[in-house]
Structure formats: structure tokens, C-alpha cells
């Protein structure tokens, strides 16, 4: 049986969320046999998006983070959903001495394209990023 073209996870919102999401992503990309450069890029993108959901989303207490990973047409798409009202705007241009504030600039620089949309069900939004992934030519159906 062929592996699924998309997977979903729920990650508890908290300081361990980025690491937990990366573990799930690495395991799935190994199963899909996605090449290492795309894996490393997808892992960094996911880490930045989950970190933003933890730090900046202002989601109600007790609301977890949804993660979706999909492959189609040579693209790997990473999505992070949270229940917070804060939406990402243009990437912040951090000053050289700033210790934070580069997340979306990293996402913009490493992804083929990225964006956000309101969640289809419930409150909050989905922030997504896509990376070229040779060997990801399978089609998402449904």
C-alpha cells in the first residue's frame, strides 16, 4: 500500500511543541523517502511556524496546534493551525542585535511560497509554507 499523501497531527501548545513537531515531520519524510535538502528546509520551516504559533498566536488557554504535511506535484507543504486571532503580516526586519523577530523572514527566504488563511472550521488561522521536494509528485485527492 502506498503511503498517504497528507498527514495531520495535533501538537500540545507549549515550549516543547516545535521539537515534537520536528520529530513527527522527520519520521514522515523518511517514510515518504523525501530527499535530505527538502527535509532540512521543511523541518526549519515547520519549526519557525510552530514557534510563532506558540509565542505569538494569543490562542485561548488549552488550545493545541494543528500540523498538516502534504506532498503533491513536486512540492512539500507544511501547515500550522492555531486558534489565535493574530495573523502574520509581512516579515519583520529585525535589527542586527535583535535576538528574535526573524521567523517569517526565514520562512519567506526558504519557501517557494507561503501565506495564511482563516481556518475552515473553528477560530484562528492556518499559516503554510511550501518547499520544492523532488520525488513528491504524488497527487493529493479529496
Check which CATH number belongs to the domain holding 29 and give it. Answer: 3.30.565.10
At residue 134, what are phi and psi to the nearest 5 degrees?
Answer: -55, 140
pLDDT at 100 over 80: no
Residue 142 belongs to some domain of the structure: no
Range of the domain at 94: 6-132
Rounded Cα distance, 67 and 11, in Å? 7
State percent of the chain over pLDDT 90: 46
**52-75: average pLDDT:** 87
Please tell me the predicted confidence (pLDDT) of residue 27: 94
Do residues 4 and 138 make contact, with C-beta atoms less than 8 angstroms apart? Answer: no
pLDDT at 1 over 50: no
Residue 137 belongs to some domain of the structure: no
Residue 103 belongs to some domain of the structure: yes
**Hey, what's the cell of 124?**
484562528
pLDDT at 58 over 90: no
Please state, rounded to an integer, the average pLDDT across all residues of the chain: 83
Number of domains in the chain: 1
- Measured at the CA of 141, the angle between CA 137 and CA 142, to 5 degrees, comes to 160
Residue 139 belongs to some domain of the structure: no
Phi-psi region of 56 (alpha: psi -120 to 50; beta: other; left: phi over 0): alpha
- Report the DSSP beta bridge partners of residue 65: 11
Residue 12 belongs to some domain of the structure: yes
Residue 114 belongs to some domain of the structure: yes
Residue 141 belongs to some domain of the structure: no
Please tell me the predicted confidence (pLDDT) of residue 90: 59
Rounded Cα distance, 99 and 55, in Å? 14
Of 101 and 109, more confident: 109
Residue 138 belongs to some domain of the structure: no
Amino acid at each position: 500500500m502506498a503511503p498517504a499523501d497528507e498527514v495531520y497531527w495535533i501538537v500540545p501548545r507549549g515550549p516543547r511543541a516545535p521539537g515534537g513537531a520536528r520529530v513527527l515531520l522527520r519520521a514522515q519524510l523518511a517514510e515518504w523517502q523525501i530527499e535530505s535538502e527538502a527535509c532540512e528546509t521543511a523541518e526549519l520551516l515547520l519549526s519557525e511556524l510552530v514557534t510563532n504559533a506558540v509565542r505569538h498566536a494569543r490562542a485561548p488557554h488549552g488550545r493545541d496546534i494543528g500540523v498538516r504535511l502534504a506532498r503533491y506535484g513536486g512540492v512539500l507543504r507544511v501547515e500550522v493551525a492555531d486558534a489565535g486571532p493574530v495573523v502574520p503580516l509581512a516579515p519583520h526586519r529585525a535589527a542586527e542585535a535583535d535576538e528574535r523577530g526573524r521567523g517569517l523572514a526565514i520562512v519567506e527566504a526558504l519557501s517557494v511560497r507561503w501565506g495564511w488563511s482563516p481556518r475552515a472550521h473553528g477560530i484562528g488561522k492556518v499559516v503554510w509554507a511550501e518547499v520544492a521536494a523532488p520525488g513528491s509528485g504524488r497527487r493529493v485527492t479529496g
